[in-house]
Amino acid sequence: MKIIESLEIESEIEKINKNFRKYVEQVFSKIFLKKIDRVFKKKLIVQEMNMESQANNIVAITVGENIYLNMKLFKEYSTEKAMMYIIHELLHVLYNKKQFPEIRTVLKQLAEATMRRIPPDKINEFLTGKKQSIHSNPSLEYLSYCSNAAFKWSICPELKQIYKDILSESGLFDMDSSFWKKRF
């Protein structure tokens, strides 16, 4: 195993490999990115998801530290859309690693703020911007879906500033980057 100095990704889709680091540097603060780089000693390997998941039109899933993609869909996506999903899954990977309790803290704060303000039957619509199921536990998705830029802020407009404050105060994210400005 080759030890890496900064977090890298390996995928059969070249636009993901080529753009991964650029997007990661927009998402995370320099200090938190240094921690990420110290923790990861090998590349994140992106694999093809199983046919059953593909048949259910699932775009991407994370199991532990493994990211699985519906390669057929990803090859059709623009670079920006593909990277949005990769960042979403990377946030799940960080959540799953014990070395990143601060990600779990932010997620807990976002979940508490959301559940106090939005009724349970509106959570999926808030997260996705559509009336659809997200196929997972919403309490694990508030941070990752925030990276998707699909929130339906109109369901609870005050949450937009609350989310922005939580992310800013955590010190984990580069809130001045174009990545986050598009989301807020």
Q: Domain range spanning residue 47?
A: 9-183
Q: Return the pLDDT at 158.
A: 97
In a domain, 1, yes or no: no
Please indicate whether residue 155 or residue 50 has the higher confidence score (pLDDT): 155
Q: Return the pLDDT at 36.
A: 96
In a domain, 2, yes or no: no
Paired sense of beta strands 66-69 and 60-63, if any: antiparallel
Q: To which residue do tokens 């929130």 refer?
A: 151
Mean of pLDDT values over 163-170: 98
In a domain, 66, yes or no: yes
In a domain, 78, yes or no: yes
In a domain, 52, yes or no: yes
11-61 pLDDT tens trace? 988 999 999 999 999 999 999 999 999 999 889 989 988 766 655 678 898
* Sign (positive or negative) of CA dihedral 135, 136, 139, 141: negative
Q: Return the pLDDT at 4.
A: 66
In a domain, 25, yes or no: yes
Element (H, E) at 60: strand 60-63
pLDDT cut 70: percent of the chain above it: 93
Q: Return the pLDDT at 135.
A: 66
In a domain, 179, yes or no: yes
Q: Mean pLDDT for the chain?
A: 90
Name the domain count of the chain. Answer: 1
